[in-house]
Protein backbone atom coordinates (compact mmCIF):
# COMPACT_ATOMS: atom_id res chain seq x y z
CA UNK A 1 0.00 0.00 0.00
CA UNK A 2 1.25 3.46 -0.92
CA UNK A 3 0.89 6.49 1.34
CA UNK A 4 0.77 10.06 0.08
CA UNK A 5 3.46 11.87 2.09
CA UNK A 6 4.35 15.55 1.97
CA UNK A 7 7.73 15.46 3.75
CA UNK A 8 9.80 14.25 6.69
CA UNK A 9 11.45 15.95 9.66
CA UNK A 10 14.33 14.03 11.17
CA UNK A 11 14.82 15.57 14.61
CA UNK A 12 11.45 16.91 15.77
CA UNK A 13 11.54 18.10 19.36
CA UNK A 14 7.90 19.26 19.71
CA UNK A 15 5.99 16.28 18.35
CA UNK A 16 5.66 13.98 21.34
CA UNK A 17 8.16 12.76 23.93
CA UNK A 18 11.88 12.93 23.13
CA UNK A 19 13.41 13.46 19.69
CA UNK A 20 11.28 12.09 16.88
CA UNK A 21 11.20 11.49 13.16
CA UNK A 22 8.03 13.19 11.89
CA UNK A 23 6.16 11.87 8.85
CA UNK A 24 3.93 14.59 7.37
CA UNK A 25 0.92 13.15 5.51
CA UNK A 26 -0.53 15.01 2.54
CA UNK A 27 -4.17 16.10 2.79
CA UNK A 28 -6.38 17.51 5.53
CA UNK A 29 -10.20 17.70 5.82
CA UNK A 30 -10.11 21.12 7.48
CA UNK A 31 -8.59 24.45 6.52
CA UNK A 32 -7.74 26.35 9.70
CA UNK A 33 -6.99 29.95 8.85
CA UNK A 34 -3.87 29.96 11.05
CA UNK A 35 -2.49 26.69 9.64
CA UNK A 36 1.31 26.80 9.35
CA UNK A 37 1.30 23.90 6.86
CA UNK A 38 -1.20 25.11 4.22
CA UNK A 39 0.76 23.24 1.55
CA UNK A 40 -0.41 19.99 3.18
CA UNK A 41 -4.15 20.75 3.05
CA UNK A 42 -4.83 19.66 -0.54
CA UNK A 43 -5.03 15.92 -1.17
CA UNK A 44 -3.15 16.46 -4.43
CA UNK A 45 0.58 16.85 -4.11
CA UNK A 46 3.09 14.97 -2.03
CA UNK A 47 4.92 11.79 -3.03
CA UNK A 48 3.76 8.19 -2.85
CA UNK A 49 5.84 6.02 -0.50
CA UNK A 50 5.42 2.40 0.47
CA UNK A 51 5.31 1.42 4.14
CA UNK A 52 8.65 -0.32 3.67
CA UNK A 53 10.25 2.84 2.28
CA UNK A 54 9.02 4.97 5.20
CA UNK A 55 10.12 2.43 7.81
CA UNK A 56 13.56 2.22 6.18
CA UNK A 57 13.87 6.02 6.27
CA UNK A 58 12.92 6.17 9.95
CA UNK A 59 15.38 3.41 10.86
CA UNK A 60 18.27 5.62 9.69
CA UNK A 61 17.55 8.05 12.54
CA UNK A 62 16.52 5.63 15.28
CA UNK A 63 19.87 6.03 17.07
CA UNK A 64 19.02 9.68 17.80
CA UNK A 65 15.65 8.93 19.39
CA UNK A 66 17.01 7.64 22.69
CA UNK A 67 14.71 5.90 25.14
CA UNK A 68 11.82 8.39 24.95
CA UNK A 69 11.72 9.32 21.26
CA UNK A 70 10.24 7.64 18.22
CA UNK A 71 8.15 8.43 15.14
CA UNK A 72 5.20 10.81 14.89
CA UNK A 73 2.59 10.66 12.14
CA UNK A 74 1.50 14.23 11.44
CA UNK A 75 0.32 16.36 8.56
CA UNK A 76 -2.02 17.24 7.12
CA UNK A 77 -4.22 14.58 8.69
CA UNK A 78 -2.88 11.00 8.87
CA UNK A 79 -6.35 9.59 9.59
CA UNK A 80 -7.48 10.52 6.07
CA UNK A 81 -5.26 7.57 5.05
CA UNK A 82 -6.25 5.36 7.96
CA UNK A 83 -5.71 1.96 6.32
CA UNK A 84 -2.22 2.86 5.16
CA UNK A 85 -1.43 4.57 8.46
CA UNK A 86 -2.34 1.35 10.27
CA UNK A 87 0.05 -0.66 8.11
CA UNK A 88 2.76 1.91 8.79
CA UNK A 89 2.17 1.83 12.55
CA UNK A 90 2.47 -1.95 12.56
CA UNK A 91 5.63 -1.81 10.45
CA UNK A 92 7.23 0.76 12.74
CA UNK A 93 6.31 -1.07 15.92
CA UNK A 94 7.86 -4.27 14.57
CA UNK A 95 11.11 -2.30 14.48
CA UNK A 96 10.66 -1.20 18.09
CA UNK A 97 9.54 2.38 17.48
CA UNK A 98 7.27 4.31 19.82
CA UNK A 99 4.67 5.83 17.46
CA UNK A 100 2.60 8.99 18.06
CA UNK A 101 -0.36 10.25 16.05
CA UNK A 102 -0.91 13.99 15.68
CA UNK A 103 -4.59 14.54 14.80
CA UNK A 104 -7.31 17.16 14.92
CA UNK A 105 -9.97 14.46 15.26
CA UNK A 106 -11.99 16.05 12.47
CA UNK A 107 -12.57 12.85 10.48
CA UNK A 108 -15.39 10.33 10.88
CA UNK A 109 -14.79 7.69 13.54
CA UNK A 110 -14.79 4.72 11.15
CA UNK A 111 -13.68 1.19 11.99
CA UNK A 112 -10.37 1.87 10.23
CA UNK A 113 -9.81 4.99 12.34
CA UNK A 114 -10.66 3.06 15.51
CA UNK A 115 -8.05 0.42 14.62
CA UNK A 116 -5.42 3.14 14.25
CA UNK A 117 -6.34 4.66 17.60
CA UNK A 118 -6.17 1.27 19.28
CA UNK A 119 -2.68 0.48 17.96
CA UNK A 120 -0.98 3.87 18.24
CA UNK A 121 1.11 4.48 21.37
CA UNK A 122 0.24 8.14 22.03
CA UNK A 123 -2.32 10.50 20.51
CA UNK A 124 -1.48 14.20 20.24
CA UNK A 125 -5.02 15.59 20.07
CA UNK A 126 -5.34 19.10 18.69
CA UNK A 127 -8.54 20.80 19.88
CA UNK A 128 -9.06 23.85 17.69
CA UNK A 129 -11.72 25.43 19.93
CA UNK A 130 -14.18 24.30 22.59
CA UNK A 131 -17.13 26.39 21.36
CA UNK A 132 -19.08 24.80 18.52
CA UNK A 133 -19.58 28.02 16.55
CA UNK A 134 -15.95 29.10 16.89
CA UNK A 135 -14.81 25.59 16.01
CA UNK A 136 -16.85 25.74 12.80
CA UNK A 137 -15.51 29.23 12.04
CA UNK A 138 -11.92 27.94 12.30
CA UNK A 139 -12.30 24.56 10.60
CA UNK A 140 -15.40 24.68 8.42
CA UNK A 141 -16.48 21.44 10.08
CA UNK A 142 -18.92 20.67 12.92
CA UNK A 143 -17.40 19.95 16.32
CA UNK A 144 -19.14 16.58 16.76
CA UNK A 145 -16.51 14.46 14.96
CA UNK A 146 -13.79 15.80 17.23
CA UNK A 147 -15.83 15.21 20.38
CA UNK A 148 -16.71 11.64 19.37
CA UNK A 149 -13.08 10.80 18.72
CA UNK A 150 -11.96 12.32 22.00
CA UNK A 151 -14.58 10.27 23.84
CA UNK A 152 -13.40 7.11 22.08
CA UNK A 153 -9.77 7.77 23.01
CA UNK A 154 -10.82 8.08 26.63
CA UNK A 155 -13.02 4.96 26.43
CA UNK A 156 -10.10 2.79 25.30
CA UNK A 157 -7.80 4.39 27.93
CA UNK A 158 -5.34 5.54 25.28
CA UNK A 159 -2.47 7.76 26.39
CA UNK A 160 -3.14 11.20 24.93
CA UNK A 161 -1.97 14.79 25.07
CA UNK A 162 -4.31 17.70 24.43
CA UNK A 163 -2.95 20.60 22.41
CA UNK A 164 -4.37 23.96 21.42
CA UNK A 165 -2.96 26.89 19.48
CA UNK A 166 -3.47 30.13 21.40
CA UNK A 167 -4.54 32.82 18.94
CA UNK A 168 -5.21 36.35 20.29
CA UNK A 169 -8.92 37.23 20.31
CA UNK A 170 -9.83 33.69 19.31
CA UNK A 171 -8.68 31.06 21.81
CA UNK A 172 -7.04 33.19 24.50
CA UNK A 173 -9.97 33.88 26.83
CA UNK A 174 -10.08 32.18 30.23
CA UNK A 175 -13.60 30.78 29.77
CA UNK A 176 -12.48 28.87 26.68
CA UNK A 177 -9.35 27.59 28.46
CA UNK A 178 -11.44 26.36 31.40
CA UNK A 179 -13.64 24.41 28.96
CA UNK A 180 -10.48 23.00 27.39
CA UNK A 181 -9.29 21.87 30.80
CA UNK A 182 -12.57 20.01 31.30
CA UNK A 183 -12.34 18.34 27.89
CA UNK A 184 -8.75 17.38 28.64
CA UNK A 185 -9.67 15.32 31.69
CA UNK A 186 -7.58 12.16 31.59
CA UNK A 187 -4.87 13.61 29.35
CA UNK A 188 -1.25 12.96 30.28
CA UNK A 189 -0.35 16.50 29.28
CA UNK A 190 -1.98 19.73 28.06
CA UNK A 191 0.11 21.87 25.72
CA UNK A 192 -0.87 25.46 24.91
CA UNK A 193 1.01 26.45 21.77
CA UNK A 194 1.46 30.17 21.07
CA UNK A 195 0.29 31.24 17.62
CA UNK A 196 3.10 32.28 15.30
CA UNK A 197 3.25 33.85 11.84
CA UNK A 198 5.76 31.45 10.25
CA UNK A 199 3.10 30.03 7.93
CA UNK A 200 1.88 33.39 6.58
CA UNK A 201 4.43 33.46 3.76
CA UNK A 202 3.38 29.96 2.66
CA UNK A 203 -0.22 31.14 2.25
CA UNK A 204 0.99 34.02 0.08
CA UNK A 205 3.13 31.77 -2.12
CA UNK A 206 0.17 29.42 -2.61
CA UNK A 207 -2.06 32.33 -3.66
CA UNK A 208 -4.29 31.82 -0.61
CA UNK A 209 -5.72 34.57 1.58
CA UNK A 210 -4.22 34.70 5.07
CA UNK A 211 -6.98 35.93 7.39
CA UNK A 212 -4.84 36.77 10.43
CA UNK A 213 -2.87 39.66 8.95
CA UNK A 214 -1.77 42.03 11.68
CA UNK A 215 -2.32 39.52 14.50
CA UNK A 216 0.77 39.16 16.67
CA UNK A 217 1.69 36.11 18.78
CA UNK A 218 0.35 36.14 22.36
CA UNK A 219 2.62 37.70 24.97
CA UNK A 220 4.55 35.68 27.51
CA UNK A 221 2.29 37.09 30.25
CA UNK A 222 -0.82 35.83 28.46
CA UNK A 223 0.66 32.37 27.96
CA UNK A 224 1.74 32.23 31.59
CA UNK A 225 -1.75 33.21 32.76
CA UNK A 226 -3.48 30.63 30.57
CA UNK A 227 -1.04 27.90 31.51
CA UNK A 228 -1.70 28.62 35.17
CA UNK A 229 -5.35 27.65 34.59
Please tell me the predicted confidence (pLDDT) of residue 1: 79
**What residues have CB less than 8 Å from 228, skipping those under 6 apart?**
none
pTM, 2 dp: 0.95
Q: Which parts of 122-194 are beta strand (E)? A: 122-126, 160-166, 189-194
Q: Would residue 144 count as lying in a domain? A: yes
Please tell me the predicted confidence (pLDDT) of residue 150: 98
Q: pLDDT of 121-145, one tens digit each?
A: 999 999 999 999 999 999 999 999 9
Please tell me the predicted confidence (pLDDT) of residue 208: 86
pLDDT beneath 70: ranges in the chain: none
Q: Is 120 helix (H, G, I), strand (E, B) or coil?
A: coil
Q: Would residue 83 count as lying in a domain? A: yes
Please tell me the predicted confidence (pLDDT) of residue 207: 87
Q: Is 42 helix (H, G, I), strand (E, B) or coil?
A: coil
Q: Would residue 73 count as lying in a domain? A: yes
Q: How many domains does the chain have?
A: 1
Q: Would residue 112 count as lying in a domain? A: yes
Q: What is the spatial distance between Cα 85 and Cα 87, in angstroms, rounded to a whole number?
A: 5
Q: What's the CATH code of the domain at 128?
A: 3.20.20.70
Q: Would residue 182 count as lying in a domain? A: no
The whole domain housing 135 covers 2-149+197-216
Q: Would residue 170 count as lying in a domain? A: no
Q: pLDDT of 170-209, one tens digit each?
A: 999 999 999 999 999 999 999 999 998 877 888 888 888 8
Q: Would residue 203 count as lying in a domain? A: yes
As a whole number of Å, the CA-based R_g of the chain is 17
Q: Would residue 225 count as lying in a domain? A: no
Amino acid sequence: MKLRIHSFETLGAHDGPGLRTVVFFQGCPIKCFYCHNPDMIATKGGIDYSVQEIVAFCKKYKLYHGEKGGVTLSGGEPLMQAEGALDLIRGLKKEGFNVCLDTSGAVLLTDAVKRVLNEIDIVLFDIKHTDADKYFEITGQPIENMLKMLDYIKTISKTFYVRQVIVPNLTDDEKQIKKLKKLAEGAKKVELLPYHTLGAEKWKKLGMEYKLKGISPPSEDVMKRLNSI
